[in-house]
Structure 1
Amino acid sequence: MNPIPHTAAGLRVVEARDADEHAANLTNWEQCYDQTTCGTFHGLLEEIQLPGMQVFRESTSQGMRQSCCVWPDAMWFGLPFSADITRINGRTAAPHSVLVRPGHQEFELVTPADYTIFGLVVRQDTLRSAAQALGFDVDWSRLQAAEILHPSAAALKQCLHTLSALLQPDHGVPADPAHAQTHALEALLPLLDTGVVDAGVRDSFSRRQRIVAAARDYLLAHHDQSVTVPDLCEQLHVSRRTLQYCFEDVLGMTPVQTLRILRLNGARRDLRGNPSATVRDVAADWNFWHFSQFASDYRKLFGYSPSATPRTGLH
């Protein structure tokens, strides 16, 4: 993955009608989105690039499970603009929290329907230089390990106001992009200077995360087979009750719901990426043998039939 270009660009606005298409629109991110709620998908991305920073606002109409990774030597900060909770790596982030992850490390977000989040990706050297120049004392080691920050309400409100102004269609990037970047950093740094970092993840929660990740990996590796909840329990050496609790705690969904959503999203992804494949072949490859039920479930989740899936030839 290449670093974000160090040149200014104007406001970039991109709409998408497919979750994977939308995931690919965010510049220099590696992402994979699974839709989790039922209905037609609509995504909107508004993005600007500054000398050492990317600023964006992302809106999604449906619930998503997102696997994300930002460019190396950077830090990502997510500011949810929603009254509903967000899950980051399985941890629940209440409204008015700030999410944070270093670059080149994969992380998972679970977001609800009708969701908007502001995001900043900042080169680490840019962030450190700005903190030193502006007199902010940041605990960099704690920040690197953090997932959730709890800033003051005033600092968060000011930062959201600044980012929203930068992303206004009639505003765009000022003639001097360095000036715009300074404004953004001046709004961001108070969140890091005064924010309270959540305590580290408990060992018990880490175990639940590992169980969910192992279950998902097993399903995807055996997607052409009939994988059931008892199969997962046997493979992972856990009881059904434990598996249920792990999934509900980490993803907010049951194992049965998750298996179905992963398989339907996998089928959609293969239909989009393989124009020559038939719908029946893809359904069978994801272990959907009752074709009418597959078509019904697919339409319910994505808002269109399998045969109406755009065949782009791109994953």
Structure 2
Amino acid sequence: MHKRNFSSDYGYVSHSGIVDPYNHTKLIDEWEFSYNQVSSGKFTGNLNKFWLEGIEIYEEKLSTCIFQEGSGKNDILCLGIFRNIENPVLWMGDEIGQNDIISIHPNKEIMIKTPKESMFYALQIPINLLLDEEVEVVNNNIFSIKNKDLNNKIYRKTFNIFSNLEESILNESSRKYIKSDLIDLGFDYINITQGGKLNKSYSKYKAQKVVKEIINYLHSNRECPISVEECCQLTYTSRRTLQNYFELIVGCSPSLFLKYWRLNGVRKMILNKNQSMNIGDIASYWGFWHLSQFSCDYKKLFGETPSQTLIYKK
């Protein structure tokens, strides 16, 4: 077992070479789960867990077919996706493929059969982080959806976190943006399951005022990155309302706008002749902890790599 930054609010634990389904189940101690092997062969399992202020993500690999049954965790919405599956997953009587997303709702029954050598990624979000003035309840009668875009978003985010935790130390800014991105995935799921009906007709004046207030804050606090949650607190708006305001005025989500703002902040610091920090430290300062993804995002926005920008400074 390997632990990193172990605390109640933030940390990572990795278990590899688990040799019994019962022992594997005990590691998921917050859930009412039982695992039973239903195919021949020696069982081996790997389980990684990352948690951040109530949000948890899991990466699970199982070598044999496993039948799992139990019930959902209280006050938690869990979204799950599969990779490396040669045969369909059986989930509550339905066949689930690689583009599907399963949803486990609080206290709802769970019955699932996983195929051999499957990889499972799960995102657990406390329900209270997803409810606001527009989202009063999460539909707990939907057990799965087929949505390739959201499926890939969940996979990329969880995979990137687990593949870099051994090398990365997440500063406060990085943790803030990871949390915000994970909550965004939950809201994306809700929007899809409600048929995109969350959008309403909003006052353009009100939207302009709220967006301008955030931009003024960003100008006044140029070197203090802000998250979507902090924007909501600053403007006394719900996350979904803020989303609609930004899409109306800026043409993109607040998360994407803030990422562009941070990338511009990185570029300005790189070009500042009085700045002696290296590119990695500057990226980390602005909350970019996954450096390869940061470089891709930077090049996509500016048409050049951070190192190429550095040449202009000289």
> What TM-score, normalized to structure 2?
0.53
Q: Find 1:94's aligned residue among 92, 97, 100.
A: 97
Residue equivalent to 2:146: 150
User: One-letter code of the match for 2:96?
Assistant: A
User: One-letter code of the match for 2:92?
Assistant: N
User: One-letter code of the match for 2:77?
Assistant: M
Could you tell me how far 1:128 is from its partner in structure 2? Answer: 2.1
Q: Is 1:11–1:46's contact at 8 Å kept on the other side of the alignment?
A: yes
Matches within 5 A, 1:154-173: 154-168=149-163, 169-171=165-167
Count of paired positions = 185
User: One-letter code of the match for 2:106?
Assistant: G
Matches within 5 A, 1:188-267: 188-194=186-192
Residue equivalent to 1:123: 126
The C-alpha deviation readout for 1:37-63, integer Å capped at 9, x for no partner, is 111111101101111211111110000
Residue equivalent to 2:116: 113
Could you tell me how far 1:192 is from its partner in structure 2? Answer: 3.4
User: One-letter code of the match for 1:160?
Assistant: Y
Could you tell me how far 1:76 is from its partner in structure 2? Answer: 1.3
Residue equivalent to 1:24: 26
In 2, the alpha carbon distance for the partners of 1:184 and 1:171 equals 21
CA 1:91–1:172: 2 relative to 1, 3 Å:
farther
Could you tell me how far 1:11 is from its partner in structure 2? Answer: 1.7
Identity %: 14
User: One-letter code of the match for 2:42?
Assistant: T
User: One-letter code of the match for 1:150?
Assistant: K
The C-alpha deviation readout for 1:91-127, integer Å capped at 9, x for no partner, is 2223210001212223111111101110011110012
CA 1:173–1:62: 2 relative to 1, 3 Å:
farther
User: One-letter code of the match for 1:161?
Assistant: R
In 2, the alpha carbon distance for the partners of 1:7 and 1:192 equals 27
Q: Is 2:82–2:97's contact at 8 Å kept on the other side of the alignment?
A: no
Could you tell me how far 1:147 is from its partner in structure 2? Answer: 0.7
User: One-letter code of the match for 1:145?
Assistant: N
Could you tell me how far 1:69 is from its partner in structure 2? Answer: 2.7
Residue equivalent to 1:308: none
In structure 2, the gaps of 5 or more residues are 1-5, 196-314
Q: Is 1:11–1:173's contact at 8 Å kept on the other side of the alignment?
A: no
In 2, the alpha carbon distance for the partners of 1:187 and 1:103 equals 18
SS across alignment from 2:60: strand
Residue equivalent to 2:83: 81
Q: Is 1:79–1:118's contact at 8 Å kept on the other side of the alignment?
A: yes
Does residue 14 of the first structure (1) align with residue 20 of the second (2)? no
In 2, the alpha carbon distance for the partners of 1:77 and 1:158 equals 12
In 2, the alpha carbon distance for the partners of 1:91 and 1:10 equals 34
In 2, the alpha carbon distance for the partners of 1:86 and 1:138 equals 30
SS across alignment from 2:14: strand
| Greater relative contact order (Cα < 8 A, sep 6+) | 1
Q: Is 2:78–2:122's contact at 8 Å kept on the other side of the alignment?
A: yes
Matches within 5 A, 1:259-278: none
User: One-letter code of the match for 2:161?
Assistant: L
Q: Is 1:74–1:124's contact at 8 Å kept on the other side of the alignment?
A: yes
